[in-house]
Amino acid sequence: MTSATASSPGRRFLPGPRAALWTGWGFLALVAAYAAAHMAFRLAASDVVAVDEVVEAVFAQRFAWVYDPKQPPLYTWLLRLATAVAPLQHAHFLVIKYLCLAATLLAYKAAADRVLGDARLAALATLSLLLLYQIGWNLHEGVTHTLTLMASCALGLAVIMRLLDAPRTHLYVLLGASFALGFLSKYGFATFVACAVAASLGQPAGRRWLLDPRIAITVLIAASGAVPYLAWLEQSGTTLAALYAGFAGGGASGGSVLHRLGQAIAAPLGFLAPALPILLLLFPRAVLPRKSPPTVAPGVDREKFLRHFLMAALAILLAGALVGGVSTLKERWMHPLFLPAPLWLWARIAHMRENLPERRLAAFWAVFIVSLPVVLAFRASEFALGSAACSRCRYVVDYRPLVQHLAASGAAGGLVVARDEHIAGNLRTRLPDADIFLIIFPAQRPPARAYPPDARCALVWNTQRHGSAVPPELAPFAGASASPPQVATVTSAPRVWFPLAPQPVSTWGVAIADMAACRG
């Protein structure tokens, strides 16, 4: 690819191909600034724990091989490790989130450097990930296990791009580590491995590294992470077959063939939006047939590897929908299958070489720059406007009155039994000396310990959902007394910056119960 001339449109707006912004410390600073901006915003906006994080806050009270059989434990282990530094706070989730995102972007950039051979194009390809809704938008107010999954996929992709050049022992070690971390992140990581193997078999360089005896190193390291967890999973009474059956949903009866086929096509397209239509609008010629591969190392066709990877990914989706009985496919499940898709499209764009207009690259850079304040404004709308911009408005709930009531009741150093995961998770970050028991996960009951003499057990629930009396699910923890425990109602107004519309209040029921009954 040749650089643009001084008179090329957009040159002044877009830094040149050799600018420090695209390489080394410059790109690292760009990633760090992005992560720091979003982290600082969330810290200033609210201390409410996000949707996917509330359950993990409860799980991280102790170490276990299996927490929820539906999810491997790596993310929870990271959170548990963070609590060894300081009592669990909302900031712990943000640090893990943005470290994982930064690791994903830096590993993806390393892969892109190998694929494209141009630091600027590699940086733009990597920043394309932030134009995917599931990463550039949804990730900021949700996502837990997918964070470590993304980082594992990006690291695995970067290592494979180097293995295509020349197999090296340390690369097999790194690949094994990325596979172990991936298997401990989400079960869907197995599809990434399957696609990578299928794509490698499609060319001599791929078969060379894949059939090298040192692949045993990768297998052993990956197995060291996956096998112990699977053993504990089976010991807990859950099998992968049972988990797949639950994932498949209605199976063959779960919608017509056309419905399942439509989902297999719509899920990856939705995952790639809006980056895919933006890139196709700016570079429509990128999808035209090519005459020769854009390659860095002789005999290595990385664009072909990525193309075969995506073909294998689509084949897996179609097989799952048409043969495997998968009746539901969601955009947020597509990371291990289609994370390499933007890089493949940029490999096609790079093939245009001297015919690639600088103004189009500048236009993409402009879209990315404009998206940054747009996303922050989108995130700020819920905190600023409350019910005028959100439905459930979970992130503006003020838990301080509830925490104050529990502290005054003696439960701050005792045991809290909660009916709702959002109550449990947010109390976990605010009552560091209390044990939190979320009853929808009975296997995660806090272990017995000696409580202070004045410690109490509190039953807590959302009265708007479950009524003012102690819910039946919490009743066994109230003891066998003939008279039900006295219920106190705690009310809290939301913390909204500019309440332009009436804001719903939160009300919780609190019953102080016998500690012996609570502990079972």
Residue 74, token pair as written in the block: 């790596």
Query: Per-residue confidence at 518, pLDDT binned at 50, 70, 90?
Result: confident
Residue with token string 């009524």: 467
What is the rounded distance in angstroms from the CA atom of residue 423 to the CA atom of residue 232? 29
Question: What SS3 state is found at 266?
Answer: helix
Percent pLDDT > 70 in the chain is: 93
C-alpha 279/C-alpha 503 separation (Å) is 40
pLDDT of 354: 63
Q: % helix / strand / coil in the chain, to the nearest 5?
A: 60, 5, 35
Q: Which of 270-279, 381-390, 506-515 has the lowest mean pLDDT?
A: 381-390
CA of residue 198 relative to chain centroid, distance: 25
Contact 65, 229 (CB under 8 A): yes
State yes or no: pLDDT of 2 exceeds 50: no
Q: Which of 94, 131, 109 is nearest to 23 (CA)?
A: 109
For 374-432, what is each residue's pLDDT tens digit?
A: 999 999 998 898 887 887 788 899 999 999 999 999 999 999 999 999 999 999 999 99
Torsion angle of the four alpha carbons 6, 11, 12, 18, in this order, in degrees rounded to the nearest 10: -90
13 pLDDT above the threshold of 70:
no
Number of other CB atoms surrounding residue 152 within 10 Å? 29
- Tell me which residue of 153, 112, 140 sits closest to 27, measured CA to CA: 112
Q: Is 360 helix (H, G, I), strand (E, B) or coil?
A: helix
Structure confidence at residue 5 (pLDDT) = 38
Predicted confidence at residue 484, as pLDDT, reads 73
pLDDT band at 237 (very low <50, low <70, confident <90, very high): confident
Average pLDDT over residues 474-494: 83
Ranking 100-114, 235-249, 377-391 by mean pLDDT, the lowest is 235-249
Residue 488 sits at the vertex; the CA angle it makes with 484 and 489, to the nearest 5 degrees, is 130
Residue 468: closest CA among 492, 493, 494, 486: 486
Tell me: the pLDDT tens digits for 131-184? Answer: 999 999 999 988 999 999 999 999 999 999 999 999 999 999 999 999 999 999
pTM of the model: 0.93
Mean pLDDT along residues 196-209: 96
How far apart, in whole angstroms, are the C-alpha atoms of residue 59 and residue 72? Answer: 12
- For every residue of 465-520, DSSP letters joined together read HH-SSPPTTTGGGG-S-SSPPPEEEEEE----SS--S----EEEEEEEE-HHHHH-
d(CA 130, CA 372) in angstroms, rounded, equals 9
| 25-51 residue pLDDT tens | 999 999 999 999 999 999 999 999 988
In this predicted model, what pLDDT tens digit does every residue of 68-92 receive, in sequence order?
Answer: 999 999 999 999 999 988 999 999 9
SS3 185: coil
Burial class (CB in 10 A: 0-12, 13-18, 19+), 211: exposed
State the pLDDT confidence band at 249, using cuts at 50, 70 and 90. low
- Exposure string for 168-204, b = 16+ CB within 10 A, e = fewer: eeebbbbbbbbbbbbbbbbbbbbbbbbbbebbbebbe
Kindly tell me if the per-residue pLDDT of 476 is higher than 60: yes
- Residue 100 CA to residue 151 CA, distance in Å, equals 6
Mean pLDDT of 448-470: 91
